[in-house]
Amino acid sequence: MQIFHRSTNTISRATIFGAIFIVAVLLWASIQFQRSPYVTYAEVARPQPAPFSHQHHVAGLGIDCRYCHTSIETSSFAGIPPTKTCMNCHSQIWTGAPMLEPVRESFRTGKSLVWNRVNDLPDFVYFNHSIHINKGVGCNTCHEPVDRMPLMYNFASLQMEWCLDCHRAPEKYLRPRDQVFNMRYEQPSSGKPIVVDGKSYTEQLSLGTDLVHKYNLRSVADITSCSTCHR
């Protein structure tokens, strides 16, 4: 005696395959959500106590990164400039601008401005700015066109896969140290060769490979080790 109708087999198969499909879609959707700007804040400008424009100060006025981020070459932290650095200029120009009142108040009272960190890594990730700077990693390699940002935002997702892309093949990204702070740096090409130590380079991999040795960069096995970033 047949207990179940013959169509039960078809329904069972359809249910199983449907469940697998739904789980796969949910997994894909969760991965995409985890990588979305809603989670990573990539390309999302953070609110700040004063609307500081890198585009105006860097591209417009030509102020070097190190004028404000004084410790970037020697410290693990890029550093946030004290209010007196802002007032070096703004005690003389834009002295009555309403948008700069928080800066003037901070200078009068001695109470530091509380800036919202834009490129904010998790606490379990160790990142050292000075190491990257001294190994020939340019500012806009990680931060992208800072000099074109009216309001600062993190360009990349800052997720581990993004970091590993560089750590696994650093030769694709390295540049001469004297070009680290050049926001308009272009990789070498046949039309625009780059000369380093008397040698002309017309393609990035050749330059990057030589810079890996010149800057005593550790092996890929070392810089992709878990303990390099997770300590």
Q: For 160-210, how does the pLDDT look when each residue is reduced to its tens digit (9 = 90+)?
A: 999 999 999 999 999 999 999 999 999 999 999 999 999 999 999 999 999
Determine the average pLDDT of the residues in 69-79.
91
Q: Which residues pair with 76 in a beta bridge?
A: none
- 153 with 52: CB under 8 angstroms? no
Give the integer Cα–Cα distance in Å for 153 and 47. 10
Query: 3-state class of 185 per DSSP?
Result: coil
pLDDT at 54 (0 to 100): 94
pLDDT tens for 22-32 read 999 999 999 88
Quick one: which of 225, 215, 140 has its CA closest to 171?
215
pLDDT at 157 (0 to 100): 87
- 218 with 224: CB under 8 angstroms? no
The verdict on residue 89 lying in a domain is no
pLDDT at 2 (0 to 100): 60
Read off the pTM.
Answer: 0.82
34 has a pLDDT exceeding 90? no
The verdict on residue 45 lying in a domain is yes
For the chain, how many structural domains are there in total?
A: 2
Count Cα neighbours of 77 within 13 Å in the Cβ-side half-sphere: 5
214 has a pLDDT exceeding 60? yes
Give the integer Cα–Cα distance in Å for 146 and 150. 9
The verdict on residue 59 lying in a domain is yes
Strands (E), 50-128: none
18 and 51 in a single domain? The answer is no
Q: Which residues pair with 92 in a beta bridge?
A: none
Q: Domain containing 23: what range?
A: 8-38
pLDDT at 171 (0 to 100): 95
106 has a pLDDT exceeding 90? yes
